[in-house]
Amino acid sequence: MIETWGFYFFGQPPTRGVELAPADYQRIFDQYVDLWVRCEGWGFDGVTWAEHHFNHGTLSPSPNLLVAAVGALTTKLRFTILGTVLPMNDARRYAEECAMLQYLTHGRFEPGIGPGAGAAEAIKAGMGWEEVRPRYYSGADLLGKAIASKRVTHQDEFYNLDNVPLEPPIHLGPGQSVWTTILSADSAAWAAERGFKICTAWHPVETAAAVASKYYETADAAGVRVDPSMLGLRRRVFVADTDAAAQQIWEESVDLVGAHAGEMFETQDPAIFKMFDMPDDFAIGSPETVAEKLISQCQAGGFGTLFAFTDFGGFTPEQLARSHELIGTKVAPLLRAAEVKGGKRESTVDLTELAAANEAHFKAVDAARK
First to last CA, the chain: 48
Distance CA 202, CA 277 (A): 9
What pLDDT was estimated at residue 183?
Answer: 92
Chain-wide mean pLDDT for the chain? 90
Q: What is the pLDDT of residues 178-225, one digit of tens each?
A: 999 999 999 999 999 999 999 999 999 999 999 999 999 999 999 999
CA-closest candidate to residue 304, choices 217, 219, 231, 236: 231
What proportion of the chain, given as a percentage, has pLDDT over 70?
88
Contact 67, 105 (CB under 8 A): yes
List the beta strands (DSSP E) in the chain. Answer: 3-8, 46-49, 78-81, 84-85, 112-114, 151-155, 160-165, 179-182, 197-200, 231-239, 282-285, 305-309
What Rg do the C-alpha atoms of the chain give, in angstroms?
Answer: 20
Q: What is the pLDDT of residues 284-340, one digit of tens each?
A: 999 999 999 999 999 999 999 999 999 999 999 999 999 999 999 999 999 999 999
Residues 6+ away with beta carbon under 8 Å from 341: 228, 299, 302
What pLDDT was estimated at residue 356?
Answer: 58
Choice between 181 and 128, residue whose per-residue pLDDT is larger? 181
Mean pLDDT throughout 242-247? 98
